[in-house]
Amino acid sequence: MKSSQKNAKTDDNKKKRPQKSKNIRVYELAKRYGMSSRELVAELREFGVPIKNHMSTLNPEMLELVEEERKSKTPKLHAPTDKVPIAAETARDTTPTVEEKEHKSAPEQVEDTPSVPQVQEGTTVGQLGKILGFKGTEMIMKLMKMGIMANINQRLDYDTLQEISNQFKFEVVHKPTLEEKILTDEPDSPQDLVPRSPVVTIMGHVNHGKTSLLDAIRESNVMDTEAGNITQHIGAYHVELENGDVVFLDTPGHAAFTAMRARGAQVTDLVVLVVAADDGVMPQTVEAINHAKAANVPIVVAINKIDVDGARIDYVKQRLAEHDLVPEEWGGQTVFVEISAKERIRVEFLLEMLLLEAELLELKANPNKLARGTIIEAELDKGRGTVATVLVQDGTLKVGDPFIAGRYSGKVRAMINELGQRTREVGPSIPVEVLGFTGIPQAGDRFYALHSERDAKAISDSRQAEHRQARLGPNSHVNLDDLFDHIREGDIKELNVIVKCDVHGSVQAVCDSLRKLSTDEVKINMIHQAVGGITETDILLASASDAIVVGFNVRPTTEAMRAAEFEGIDVRTYSVIYDLISDIHSAMEGLLDPEVREVVIGRAVVRELFKVPRMGTAAGSYVNWGRIVSHQHVRLLRDNRLVYEGRVDSLRRFKNDVSQVQANYECGIGIEGFADFKIDDVLECYTYENIPRKLK
């Protein structure tokens, strides 16, 4: 009885849809013309048709005008299906030829005769001396004057050479590491790229129908004859539809989603936000929206349970609009699909919308190269050892390929697909279980297939050493005690904050107070605020967004404390709101660019001139105020007019090199790049100081 009612309801829906209106959506018209949605959108805009995107609606009058325009004019973007689209031809035409590539690379030959010496990273002190024209002992002495203690055979790292190059005028050449040589991908040729399936994550509040929607999607797999035949423990699976494939990540909520992004993995192409029509926007709904926005991932809203009593579809849309998710029929850009996952109503239409959104993203990959992907999840299996689910995003992964993932290397011993079957190779947008790891990688670690197992082992050893060093050293995330070292680039600085409080009133009060602290120079950016204790999810979001976590009358959970310690996240809890505001205010002052102020530290007057072998002219001077310091800034004044600015190149008392000379003493001064001294010239030695500024 229930089944017949459901079929009758579905038939009624099918009958009613065409009778509602003769309007047609742009993407439906594109199918009629045999075009892509992107091409038709561009063509309609050229005709002057007022549309926004592929979901815009054309009424009968507009459709008639479009038909007439297409008949009278040759479409610029439409091409027969058996020919290559003009856009593709243009892409081919702009591809550089071999001659053009050789012409572009020609300027690099000028480097054969550089204007300044080039010194490679890792050069020894002795080799540096030969390049610069100094004996080994002379080079050691010059480095000692700069505060660099090194022997003749000691190799100099990049930072040290960069510091030395400022004085001796040479160019430091970075020596790429093995990891940089192997894991740096060359751009793919457009001809090598093929479309790939979109990767989708379903998110939303508890009991809003995420699991029901996943079950309905599994049954929509037209290539699968039995419902629920897909193995779920793999953590990801793909559904094969008539118009294309969609890959779904079966992740345990927002924690896994954020954990991957926290480690630099952009896995998800689209997010489906499930909101119950009878419940509306709830705390976890807002949390899901914040996570998706922080990852800069397009959102498709699925309003579920439209068939139950108490469904308020317009109210849900209104609440979501408050979070910048505005439906297209209201003038926004967000795709909304009204569904019933349990009754399987419009689930196929939701999948069709996902394919349309993916079409606009133009997702492509090159299957003809070594695989690149991301670890979705990993575990230690008693019988099989370490097993990790890898989502291949580029290239093709084959059995026997050496690989590196996070800190661990390995060789692909076996691969198992989502049906539990062994497979020999997988291409882009395909999830697969991989066996052969030497350790357990973390969710979000990048996966690279390599040519050499030895190279994979070498990179693994290097990363293991870096990891041990990082655990011993300070963390790299923002904290309130040391914000000055985390000054962000750009004119406007941002301090990202996650706020958790005991009640809604406190959340509003704390957020309002923090917003008032924002200035033209420093901005408070609250990426998430909610009621409740500080959870592990909050810590992962803070790690991904480089934020601090503040709690008012709440405490972190044990899992959150462990995660905060591991991720290096600054978590502060308060019981007095004024203490919270005061600490944030002080942290913001640490983000301000310091005021750079010139400070004159000494003056000397030239009394005599000397000729010094290999150095030129030196000024015999008397320090009449302050002190003159070696290698500091100096300006030469003649009749109170500026003649030259440079640095103190040499400073001597009698025949001895000294670091500084105090007032009332005589000395010999040499200025870098200047020798035209005259008696009674004034040498003014100065430096720069950074003065911390306060908020206005």
Please provide the distance, in angstroms rounded to a whole number, between the alpha carbons at the two ends of the chain. 73
* The predicted structure's pLDDT at residue 586: 73
pLDDT in tens, 48-87: 777 777 778 888 777 877 787 777 665 444 434 343 333 3
Distance of CA 12 to the CA centre of its chain: 48
**Taking the mean position of all CA atoms in its chain, how far away is CA 40?**
33
- CA pair distance 562, 575, nearest whole angstrom: 22
User: In this structure, which CATH number among 3.40.50, 1.10.10, 1.25.40, 1.10.1740 belongs to the domain 23-104?
Assistant: 1.10.10
Given a contact cutoff of 8 angstroms between Cβ atoms, the answer to whether 216 and 304 are in contact is: no
Look at residue 423 in the predicted model and tell me its pLDDT: 94
User: What kind of fold does domain 197-363 have according to CATH?
Assistant: Rossmann fold (3.40.50)
Q: Is 58 exposed, middle or buried (0-12, 13-18, 19+ CB in 10 A)?
A: buried
Does the domain at 372-467 match CATH 2.40.30.10? Answer given as yes
How many angstroms separate the CA atoms of 275 and 561, rounded? 31
| DSSP string for residues in 265-320 | ----SEEEEEEETTT-S-HHHHHHHHHHHHTT--EEEEEE-TTSTT--HHHHHHHH
Taking alpha carbons only, the member of 308, 305, 314, 310 closest to residue 275 is 305
pLDDT for 158: 84
Percent of the chain with pLDDT over 90: 26
In one letter, which amino acid is 179? E
Least confident of 245-254, 412-421, 494-503, 616-625: 245-254
Looking at residues 654-666, what average pLDDT do you find?
89
**Encoding tokens for residue 365?**
């990959």
Q: Kindly state the DSSP code that residue 107 receives in the 8-state scheme.
A: G
Please give the sequence-ordered ranges of beta strands (E in DSSP) within 438-558, or none if there are none. Answer: 446-449, 493-501, 522-531, 548-552
Please write the tens of the pLDDT for every residue from 334-365. Answer: 999 999 988 889 998 999 999 999 888 889 99
pLDDT for the residue numbered 93: 38
For 654, what's the count of Cα atoms within 13 Å in the CB-facing half-sphere? Answer: 1
pLDDT at 661 exceeding the cut of 60: yes
d(CA 619, CA 601): 19
Query: 10-14, 216-220, 267-271, 537-541: which has the minimum mean pLDDT?
Result: 10-14
Q: Compute the distance between CA of residue 377 and CA of residue 443 in angstroms, rounded to an integer.
A: 5
Residue 681 to residue 624: CA distance in whole angstroms: 13
Q: Could you tell me where the DSSP H helices lie in 110-247? A: 125-132, 136-145, 158-168, 178-183, 210-219
The third-level CATH classification (topology) of the domain covering 483-591 is: Rossmann fold (3.40.50)
pLDDT above 70: residue 228: no
Mean pLDDT of 87-100: 37
- Residue 1 pLDDT exceeds 60: no
Q: How far apart are CA 379 and CA 387, in angstroms?
A: 6
Euclidean distance between CA atoms 426 and 365, whole angstroms: 13
How do residues 600-648 score in pLDDT, each as one tens digit? 899 999 999 988 777 778 899 999 989 999 989 999 988 878 889 899 9
Identify the pLDDT of residue 259: 63
Distance separating alpha carbons of residues 553 and 219, to the nearest angstrom:
47
**Is the pLDDT assigned to residue 467 strictly greater than 80?**
no
Q: Which two tokens stand for residue 169?
A: 């005028």
Structure-block tokens of residue 154: 């000691």
Which of 233, 296, 289, 240 minimizes the C-alpha distance to 268? 296
Examine the pLDDT at 88 and tell me if it is beyond 70.
Answer: no
Of 278, 260, 143, 264, nearest to 208 by C-alpha is 278
Helix/strand/coil for 180: helix
- The answer to whether residues 278 and 312 touch, using CB atoms and an 8 Å cutoff, is yes
| Residues 238 and 430: beta-carbon distance below 8 Å | yes
Topology match between the domains 197-363 and 483-591: yes
Asked whether the predicted pLDDT for residue 233 surpasses 70, the reply is no
pTM (2 d.p.): 0.55
CATH of domain 595-691: 2.40.30.10
- Strand stretches in 35-116, DSSP E: 57-58
Tell whether the torsion through CA atoms of 682, 688, 694 and 696 is positive or negative: positive
DSSP, collapsed to helix, strand or coil, labels residue 612 as strand
d(CA 178, CA 280): 52
Residue 357 backbone dihedrals phi, psi, to 5 degrees: -65, -40
Report whether 300 contacts 338 (CB < 8 A): no
Contacts of 261 (CB under 8 A, 6+ apart): 291, 294, 295, 444, 544
Q: Where are the domains positioned within the chain?
A: 23-104, 121-174, 197-363, 372-467, 483-591, 595-691
pLDDT for the residue numbered 410: 94
Residue of 301 and 119 predicted with greater confidence:
301
